[in-house]
Structures are given as structure tokens and as C-alpha cells.
Structure 1
Amino acid sequence: MAIILNIQVYLCMFFAFLHTEGTRNSNDNVKTIQNFLSHPGWNNINDVELIKYRNNQHKLKDLIVIPVTMLNCDNCIQQIMLFLGCSYANDLDLINYSLNKFQQHCFELLDSSYVRAHHCTITLLTKMIEIIPIAKCMRGALDAIKKYHTAIRSSVKRKRFILSRLLTNLQEEEILLTRLSTSLLPIKDVLGSINQILLSRSNEFKKDKSFCELKQLNFDSLWQIWNTEFNTPIVQRKFQELFIFLSDKISNFILTTITKKYFELGFIFDSNTSQTFLSVKPSTSDNHDIAQNHSTNFTQNTNYVNTQEAIQKNDIITYPSIQHTNNVEIQEDIRQENNNCEVNDDSDVLIHYPKGHEPFNKYLN
């Protein structure tokens, strides 16, 4: 009987040991994680004050300076994922806020011009689809870090990882957004669907941000700054339409995010497999230059651009006369709106839809 009890005690101790953060990692993994954290980009993540992990609060600067060992490697990996996930969540939340303001602007245009509202909505949908490749990279980055964690147990697999659900949902929305871009629904309904998507994302951000204490960033103040900037005569002449200005702002922010929080952190993107890996070499000035080049090549040669081209090809096949592939053409279409209405007066044969309920594809012909 005593032997059986001793065996049970030993088993309990063994499983308790497995569920602690004291699990030893391999020396190769330790070197990789240490080299990974040596990239200077980690010193530039300044939007996360601290993370909450295992009932304790941790700061990123402490994680960077503490040597990685075989005993604390798994613990470091968990903290890295939380810090990076919190920073990604903050960036995606800001983009989501900008898209929400974008959607409101498109909706307001319905009162003055269906053509402008349509072009605004097309531009908004294109911008939302642009985010999907970035979401894939973020997911790939977090998964690449997680692969070096040794404790792969069923309890860990069931645990919610930061951004896991949101990034999955973002990728699954690609089909829906593409369908909306060629939808027969009224413009108002398309914008309503977009609003529901953005609202769902916002709710997920709140859950993920519960792991983080972020530096306070007033999104409303940023929106006021953008409005002030757009209303200057020089900027207004350049962009002419607020939604084109917003599209440009969001594109620049996406490029900055992928540069600063992907390539400069030591992630490597394999364009052949669309997979992300950690750099196993220590950071050098040469690596930094390579990161800059990778960032440029990524935005030019990956599905970031291919996604937009696929949408445009689909639109052209479905509606041969569609020409909304660049901002210049969009603005030219808008400038010609009144003239077209005067010259092509088909009021006798056109169906008159209630205000706000005209089909989304009306101006695709």
C-alpha cells in the first residue's frame, strides 16, 4: 500500500513539474531566442508599458537585458509573444478605428453623391483587404516564436493565445470582403455589413488588450490631426477627396508596422512558402539593411499587392468597363460626375431606387 502511495506522490510531483515554467529548453533554442532579442527593433516597441503574465507584471526592457537560459527560455518566449501581441493589437486597433471613421465618411457621402459614396466604399473595401496579408504575417510571427517553446501540452493548446482568434477571423473575412466588392446589395447595406465587421473586430481587441497595459493613445485626437492636415490647401489639392487621403494614411501606417514590428525585429519571410522564421544570427548593421530591403520587397511582391490585383481582375471580368485601379482615375470619375449626368439623361428607362438603396454595382458599368 505504501509503495502505491509513493508512486502516486511521485506521479503528482512529475506532472506538477511538467506544468511549471522550469522546463528546460535546448541550448540551440536558447541561442536563437537570445539572438532574436538582440535585434535593435525590440528597443523601439514603446507602445506597451507592461504585460500581465502568471499574476505578475513584466516590462519589455527587463526581458531584453535578462540573459536567456535553458531554464527561463520558455518563460521568455511566453513574454515575447505577449509583448508583441499587445503591440500588434494596438496597431490593429488603430487601423480599425481609422477604417470605422472611413466607413462613416462613405456613409455621409450618400447624402450628396452616390458616385462618390461608391468610390469611397470601393476604396474602403480595398484597404480592408490590404490588411489581411499583414494579419497573416502577424500570425506567422507569433507562431514562429511559439515553435521554440518546449511545453506543448493539451492544456497549452486549449489556452487562448493573444490575437489568435482575431487574426484567424481577419483571414477568414477575405472571401466576404471580396464578395462585397462586387455585391448587388445597395451601397447602404454594404456599408452596414462593413460596420458589423469592424464592430466585431473591436470587441475582440478588448479581450486581447486585457493582457496589456498600453500607453494611452487618443484615437480621437489623431482623427482631428488628420482632418486638420487634410483641410490645408496643399493637401486638399493633392488628394481632393478625404477618403483617398485616409487610404494613403492607412497604407503608410501598414508599411511602417510591417517594417518596424516584423522585419526589424528579426523575422524572415519566405515568399515561396509564405512562412515566417526567426533569424538565427545575431543582429548586425548588415541585417538591418537586409530588413529594410525585405520590407520593400514584401509590399511589392507578396500577396499584399496580389490580393488587390485579384480583386481588380475579378471586377474587370465581371464588369468590363470598371476602372477604379488608382486614385487618379477615381478622382477623374468624380470630377466628371455632373457632366455625365447631364449628357446621359436616361431617366425614362432607368429604375428609380429609394434614396440610399441603389445597387452597389450601379456605377460599375
Structure 2
Amino acid sequence: MISLKLAKFGFILLFVILYTKAYSIIKEKMEQFNELLQYSGWRNLNELIYIKYINRTYYLQNLIEITTNTNKCKQKIRCLTIYLGCTYAIIMNTLFLINNKLIKICKYKLEEEKDLINGCICTEELIKIVSLFIVPLAILFKGAMDALDLLHIHPWAYNKSPYMISPRLGKIENILNDLNEIILSHDDISTYIWTLNTVDNFFDDIMKHQNYDVDEYCEFITYDKNYLWKKWNQEYKTSIGHDINLVFFKFLTKKIEDYIHTIIIQKYSQLGFKFDPITQETFIPKSDDLIEPELEFKITDE
């Protein structure tokens, strides 16, 4: 009888310890989440009208202002993860479309005009844009979505089924493996054509799957998908008119670099996400974390 009582007491004590620990973790994540929402960037996610989730619509302002108790916190984390995914989707789609237009120019130079010099330069700039700017941006975006999702009591990341655009962002890094399979040679133009077709098919597939996610969750404001391309083309024509001698492909690379640097600040750093260059991971700082001021900008400098 005594041993039975001790067993019951031990079970109750264990339950209390586990419950207390679980509650402590939940409370800590809630505080971390609330601190994250204090960053100004969350109020500047103005690309969407609302998001759709489980037959309901959610507006950004309402999500930010809802009092965060345990149940509301779960709802807010889930919906803001989707909001983030929608925002990142529209940015990546813009870059994919620019890539597609650049690929067409490169192919035309190589196959129609037989302008091998500019065709090769064009292809090489495309590889630079993909490798140095688009892939790192996708890594940051996926890291931010995953870091936010992990604040949830039941993170999507722990499920086997993919969520929102996170797996699409994760696959973008795989393009580097394809590009490393071949060495470009001016003596073999087919290596350039192969590269252009590989990049074109790769991003076309990513965009199709990403658009499936977008259609399910996101309601965007009306926008011109080719806005940046038109703007940069006009800027280039104006620059040429002022005696600036710069090949369009290199001009475009610089514009994309500047654009992505701005995007990282506005849609990543100003949302409170931090990048650790040692672990190569995105994290959400806690109030007692010591953060180096330059940490969040290190990746863009590299």
C-alpha cells in the first residue's frame, strides 16, 4: 500500500514537473513572439490584402493587434507564417520573371545573333545573379519562415507534409549542384546553352509549385509583375543617354544586388530575424541574447 502511494505521488510529481516545464517553454516562446512583433517591419508588409487559412480570411493589422494569449498566439504564429510566405513568394516570383527575361536575351544573343561574346557575358552574369544573390536570399527567407514556425506549439516543420512555400525555397539551393556539373567553355557554346536551359527549367518548375501555394493562401493587391524589369530598362536607357558605358547584363546584376540588399533589410532584418554566419542559420533573438549589431548585415556584405 505504501509503495502504491509512493508510486502515485511520484507520478503526480513528474506530471507537475513536466507541466511546469512545458508551460515555461510556451510562456518563453510567447514572450519571444511578442517581442518579434515589436519590429516595425511587420507593419510594412503591404503586398497583400489578406491571407486565407482554413476557410477564414486574416488581415495583417488585426493579427498584430490581437491580444496574445496561448490560443491566439498559436493562431497568430500560423497566420503570420503564411503572411510571410506570401510576401516572400511575390518577391521570388519577381526575380524569377527577371531571370526568365534575361535567359531569353542570352539565348537570342547566342542562337539568333551569333553574338558569342555578349551571349557568354550574359550567361555568366545570370549565373552570378543566381549563385550570389537569389540562392542566399532564398536561404534567408526559408530560415525566417522556419524560425517563426518553430515558435508554434505544433510546428509545421515537425510534420512530414510541406508547408506554404518553405520547401520551394529550400529547393532553390539545389540549382548550385546543377551548375557545378558543367564547366563553361567559349570553345563549346553548347555549355552555355545547356546552362541557360537548366536554369530556365529549374526556376520554371519552382515557380509553378510556388504559385500553387500562392493561389491557396494569398490575396495580393493589384501589381504589375514586370514593374522592376520595366523600371530598370528605363533607367538603363537613361544612363546610356548620359554617356555611361555599361553592358546591360552587368547593369542588371548591380540593380538586382541593390534590390536584394534592400529586401533583406526590409523583409528580414526589420522583421527581427537574425542570421548567424557561424551556424549559417536564421534565429529569433530572445530578450537576453547579445546580438552583434553587424550580424544581420554580414551575409549581404559577403
Contact 1:129 1:177 (8 Å CA) reproduced: no
Q: TM-score, normalised by structure 1?
A: 0.68
> For residue 134 of structure 1, what is the aligned residue in structure 2?
137
> For residue 168 of structure 1, what is the aligned residue in structure 2?
170
Deviation at 1:219, TM superposition (A): 2.2
Deviation at 1:90, TM superposition (A): 0.6
Residue identity in the other structure for 2:233: N
> For residue 298 of structure 1, what is the aligned residue in structure 2?
299
Contact 1:25 1:74 (8 Å CA) reproduced: no
> For residue 225 of structure 1, what is the aligned residue in structure 2?
231
List alignment gaps of at least 5 residues for structure 2: 1-22
Deviation at 1:224, TM superposition (A): 2.5
SS in 2 for 1:231: helix
Structure 1 Cα separation of the partners of residues 147 and 156 of structure 2: 17
Residue identity in the other structure for 2:298: N
Picking from 101, 119, 122, the partner of 2:121 is 119
Structure 2 Cα separation of the partners of residues 268 and 153 of structure 1: 21
> For residue 27 of structure 1, what is the aligned residue in structure 2?
27
Distance 1:124 1:180, change over 3 A: farther
Residue identity in the other structure for 2:282: T
Q: Residues 78-93 of structure 1: matches in 2 within 5 Å?
A: 78-93=78-93
Structure 2 Cα separation of the partners of residues 77 and 231 of structure 1: 45
SS in 2 for 1:232: helix
Deviation at 1:83, TM superposition (A): 0.5
Distance 1:227 1:195, change over 3 A: same
- Identity of counterpart residues, as a percentage? 25
Deviation at 1:24, TM superposition (A): 11
> For residue 256 of structure 2, what is the aligned residue in structure 1?
250
Measured against aligned partners, the alpha-carbon deviations of 1:58-80 in whole angstroms (never above 9, x if no partner) come to: 01111111121112211111011
Moved over 4 A (4+): 233-236
Structure 2 Cα separation of the partners of residues 102 and 257 of structure 1: 21
Does residue 275 (structure 1) correspond to residue 277 (structure 2)? The answer is no
Measured against aligned partners, the alpha-carbon deviations of 1:170-215 in whole angstroms (never above 9, x if no partner) come to: 0122111233453663433322222212211221221121210112
Residue identity in the other structure for 1:142: M
Structure 2 Cα separation of the partners of residues 107 and 159 of structure 1: 38
Measured against aligned partners, the alpha-carbon deviations of 1:283-337 in whole angstroms (never above 9, x if no partner) come to: xxxx9x94xx44432212xxxx4xxxxxxxxxxxxxxxxxxxxxxxxxxxxxxxx
Distance 1:257 1:181, change over 3 A: farther
Structure 1 Cα separation of the partners of residues 241 and 91 of structure 2: 25
Residue identity in the other structure for 1:157: N
Does residue 187 (structure 1) correspond to residue 199 (structure 2)? The answer is no
Measured against aligned partners, the alpha-carbon deviations of 1:45-70 in whole angstroms (never above 9, x if no partner) come to: 11121110111000111111112111
Distance 1:224 1:177, change over 3 A: same
Contact 1:229 1:235 (8 Å CA) reproduced: no
> For residue 315 of structure 1, what is the aligned residue in structure 2?
none
Root-mean-square deviation (Å):
2.6
Q: Residues 233-244 of structure 1: matches in 2 within 5 Å?
A: 233-234=239-240, 237-238=243-244, 240-244=246-250
Deviation at 1:236, TM superposition (A): 6.8
List alignment gaps of at least 5 residues for structure 1: 1-22, 306-365
Deviation at 1:275, TM superposition (A): 1.5
Measured against aligned partners, the alpha-carbon deviations of 1:141-177 in whole angstroms (never above 9, x if no partner) come to: 11111211112589x7143311122112101221112
Q: Residues 308-319 of structure 1: matches in 2 within 5 Å?
A: none
SS in 2 for 1:49: strand
Q: TM-score, normalised by structure 2?
A: 0.82
